[in-house]
């Protein structure tokens, strides 16, 4: 019997996950099947029922994408520290009738930045826009990379400050409002972890936060030159990138968790990458 995996989300027609995991399986000579499932948004409990049905049919694991990451976290039997901090899960492993939840978004993002973009965070000033699940998943991996300072800017500063209080023992971390960014100088890395780009909007970030020699990173992918990336380009930033590398790297982490072998990612990233002006 072939091991079966899936990605679940809604909508799901745009997903690249079956292609990515198919390429990983081919490269690592793993015999497995990977599919996409459009999960039901309603009624309550329908998402959990869909997951349990997949597990009962012999499914070995799942990737979870929007809007189900919070629901996946809630229904898990066991959760990793990363998933617990994020309050969200982006991967399940099914073993012995139990659901194990992980969140690989943060380590996938860190690997893309440090390995693929050759931009180590040690000693650098990092600005993270947003304090939602995407941002929370990045905090522990980022602090483990020893930046000089990690600043979280959020509309609701109390939400960001709660995270800094929780993680202050892990490194130099601070919170601020968007308005306070005007006086905070330039950052080596600015990451847009808000949902603004999904609707074509721009988070209220001043252009003065960007360093010309730094990097502007958009978590969304396939959205062309988003307002955030356009702002960074107009501010003179040389390195502007979207989240394709993160997508592939977090998928590789899940694949390794499931299959015990981590696939190479460069060829897959290259296959999916489109110049931002042409995306």
> Any known ligand binding at 131?
yes
- Residues in CB range of 181: below 8 A, 6 or more apart: 127, 153, 205, 206, 208, 209
3-state SS, residue 233: helix
- Please list the active-site residues: 69
What is the model's pLDDT at position 278? Answer: 55
> Any known ligand binding at 249?
no
Q: For the chain, which ranges sit under pLDDT 50?
A: 279
- Considering the entire predicted model, what is its pTM? 0.92
What is the model's pLDDT at position 135? Answer: 84
Q: Which residues pair with 59 in a beta bridge?
A: 4
Q: What is the CA radius of gyration of the chain?
A: 19
What is the model's pLDDT at position 247? Answer: 95
> Any known ligand binding at 17?
yes
Q: pLDDT tens digit string along 115-133?
A: 999 999 999 999 999 988 7
> Any known ligand binding at 143?
no
What is the model's pLDDT at position 279? Answer: 47
Query: Which domains are seen in the chain, by residue range?
Result: 3-103 (3.40.50.10860), 106-244 (3.40.50.720)
Pairing type for strands 98-102 and 91-95 reads antiparallel
> Any known ligand binding at 132?
yes
């Amino acid at each position: 019997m072939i091991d079966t995996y899936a990605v679940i989300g809604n909508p799901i027609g745009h997903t690249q996950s079956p292609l990515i995991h198919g390429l990983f399986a081919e490269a690592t000579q793993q015999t497995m099947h990977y599919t996409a499932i459009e999960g039901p948004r309603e009624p309550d409990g329908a998402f959990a029922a869909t997951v349990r049905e997949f597990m009962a049919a012999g499914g070995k694991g799942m990737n979870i994408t929007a809007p189900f990451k919070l629901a996946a976290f809630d229904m898990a039997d066991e959760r990793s520290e990363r998933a617990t901090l994020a309050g969200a899960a982006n991967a399940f492993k099914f073993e012995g009738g139990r659901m194990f939840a992980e969140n690989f978004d943060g380590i996938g993002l860190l690997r893309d930045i440090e390995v693929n973009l050759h931009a180590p965070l040690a000693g650098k000033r990092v600005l993270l826009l947003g304090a939602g699940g995407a941002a929370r998943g990045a905090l522990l991996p980022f602090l483990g990379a020893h930046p000089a300072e990690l600043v979280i800017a959020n509309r609701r500063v109390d939400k960001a400050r709660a995270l800094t209080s929780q993680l202050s023992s892990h490194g130099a971390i601070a919170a601020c409002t968007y308005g306070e960014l005007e006086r905070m100088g330039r950052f080596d890395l600015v990451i847009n972890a808000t949902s603004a780009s999904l609707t074509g909007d721009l988070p209220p970030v001043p252009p003065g936060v960007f360093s010309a020699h730094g990097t502007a990173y958009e978590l969304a992918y396939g959205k062309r030159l988003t307002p955030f990336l356009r702002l960074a380009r107009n501010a003179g930033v040389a390195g502007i990138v979207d989240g394709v590398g993160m997508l592939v790297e977090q998928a590789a982490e899940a694949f390794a968790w499931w299959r015990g072998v981590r696939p190479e990612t460069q060829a897959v990233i290259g296959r999916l990458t489109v110049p931002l002006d042409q995306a």
